[in-house]
Amino acid sequence: MARLRGLFSRAAAPPRVDRIVVGLGNPGDGYANTRHNVGFQVASRLAKRARAEFAVKAADSRIAEGAIGDVRVAIARPQTFMNDSGRAVRKLLDRYRVDPSALLVVYDDVDLPLGKLRIREKGGPGTHNGMRSIVGEVGEGFARVRVGVAPVDAAAEIGDLVEHVLTPFTADEREIADQQVARAAEAIEVGLREGFGRAMEKFNG
């Protein structure tokens, strides 16, 4: 009986991964197409590149486990709301038994115009509440990809920030937004395969 329990406990253990990629967003259909859920959209696109499905429900997240080249990766969409993202990230690190240095977070940024990406290997949270929650839980020592959601026209007024990020892209913005999501997923793949220094050289334009 003890041997059987040992077999079942080993079977239940999560696979080893080299990297955890977390796309930030809010759960629920009402938020799916909003600017604030760009992180979810990039995570979904990256999972397709890894031929992985979001089949695992654990660590307050939906998780797709797969590989990008030789890099074993868990791609997660936290199911906490944005302001509590740190709780899910801490559980993900515990689940896979990795340090924050194995983490990459992708999220929307109102300080960047639509169509722009910024990749950094570590740093502070800026003004993003989800990132503040994560940094509060695990510190600043993890990579991140910021995806611009500010108007392309620098002179355009955003108005209320909360309303801006919780509304969908306009019809005029949609094509650029779709291209940006694909480009962000490509940037993460380059980072995983070749290192994030190389990704910064190529995509921080």
Task: At 126, list the tokens.
Answer: 């800026």
Question: What's the rounded Cα separation, in Å, for the pair 6 and 47?
Answer: 32
Residue that the structure tokens 């995983």 belong to: 192
- List all residues 6 or more positions away from 200 whose beta carbon is below 8 Å from its beta carbon: 119, 120, 121
- The two structure tokens encoding residue 32: 């799916």
Question: What is the model's pLDDT at position 9?
Answer: 46
Determine which of 123-132, 162-171, 195-204 has the lowest per-residue pLDDT on average: 162-171
Residue with tokens 């938020």: 31
What's the confidence (pLDDT) of residue 3? 55
Higher local confidence (pLDDT), 188 or 10: 188
User: Hey, which residues are catalytic here?
Assistant: 36
Please give the Cα distance from 98 to 77 (Å, whole number). 18
Rounded Cα–Cα distance for residues 145 and 105 (Å): 6
Q: What angle do helix axes 171-194 and 196-203 make, rounded to 10 degrees?
A: 150
pLDDT > 90 in the chain, percent: 78
**Mean pLDDT calculated for residue range 107-118:** 94
Q: State yes or no: pLDDT of 7 exceeds 80.
A: no
Fold of 16-150+160-203: Rossmann fold (3.40.50)
**SS3 string of 114-183?**
CCCEEEECCCCCCCCHHHHHHHHHHCCCCEEEEEEEECCCCCCCCCCHHHHHCCECCHHHHHHHHHHHHH
Residue-range domain boundaries for the chain: 16-150+160-203
DSSP assignments along 70-109, one per residue: TEEEEEEEE-S-GGGHHHHHHHHHHHHT--GGGEEEEEEE
At residue 47, does pLDDT exceed 70?
A: yes
- pLDDT tens for 148-176 read 998 876 546 666 666 778 788 889 999 99
Does 8 have pLDDT greater than 90? no
Which stretch of DSSP H or E encloses residue 188? helix 171-194
Is 71 in contact with 18 (CB distance < 8 Å)? Answer: yes
Number of neighbours of residue 60 by Cβ within 10 angstroms: 18
pLDDT score of 97 more than 50: yes
